[in-house]
Amino acid sequence: MKVKVAINGYGTIGKRVATAVNQQDDMEIVGVSKTRPTYEARDAVRQGYPLYVPEGAVQAFADAGIQVAGTVDDMIAAADIIVDCTPGNLSEEYKAKYAAAGKKAIWQGGEDHSLTGISFNAAANYKESWGAQFSRVVSCNTTGLLRTLFGIDREFGVRNAYVTIIRRSADPNDSKTGPINAIEPSVKLPTHHGPDVQSIMPWLSISTMAVKVPTTLMHVHTVVAELKEAPTTEQVKEVLRRSPRVRLVSSRDGIKSTAQAMDLARELGRTRGDMFEIVVWEDGIKMVGNTLYYYQAVNQESDVIPENIDCIRSMCKLEEDPAASIAKTDRAMGI
Task: Give the closest residue to 167 by CA, choosing from 120, 208, 195, 112.
Answer: 208
Can you give the binding site for ligand NAD, defined by CB under 6 A?
8-14, 33-35, 54, 85-88, 90, 108-111, 139-140, 171, 300-301, 304
Instruction: Provide, rounded to whole angstroms, the least separation between the CB of residue 31 and ligand NAD.
Output: 12
Least distance to ligand NAD, CB of residue 15, Å: 8
Considering the complex, what minimum distance in angstroms separates the CB of residue 27 from ligand NAD? Answer: 19
Tell me, what amino acid is at 63? D
Quote the least distance from Cβ 205 to ligand NAD, whole Å: 25
Q: What angle is formed at CA 71 by the lines to CA 35 and CA 31, rounded to 5 degrees? A: 80
Residue among 88 and 254 whose Cβ is closer to ligand NAD:
88
Select 73 or 226, whichever has its Cβ closest to ligand NAD.
Answer: 73
Nearer to ligand NAD by C-beta: 178 or 254? Answer: 178
Pairing of β 51-53 and β 27-33: parallel
CB of 229 to ligand NAD, least distance (A): 33
The sign of the torsion formed by the CA atoms of 83, 87, 88, 89 equals negative
**232 vs 78, 238, 240, 269, CA distance in Å?**
53, 10, 13, 35
With residues binned 3-state (H G I as helix, E B as strand, rest as coil), the percentages for the chain, rounded to 5, are: 40, 25, 35
Please name the helix (run of DSSP H) or strand (run of DSSP E) that holds residue 40, with its range, or none. helix 39-46
CA–CA separation, 195 vs 202, rounded Å? 8
Give the nearer residue to ligand NAD in terms of CB position, either 72 or 225.
72
Can you state the angle between helices 322-333 and 305-315, rounded to 10 degrees?
Answer: 130
The one catalytic residue in 85, 140, 311, 316 is: 140
- Say how far apart CA 85 and CA 9 lie, in whole Å: 5
| CA-atom Rg of the chain in angstroms | 20
Residue nearest to ligand NAD (CB): 11
Residue closer to ligand NAD, measured from CB, 35 or 251: 35
Q: Which residues contact 335 (CB under 8 A, 6 or more apart)?
A: 245, 276, 277, 306, 329
Q: From the CB of 130, what's the least distance to ligand NAD, in Å? A: 23
Residue closer to ligand NAD (CB basis): 216 or 257: 216
Residue 316 among the catalytic residues? no
- Name the residues annotated as catalytic: 140
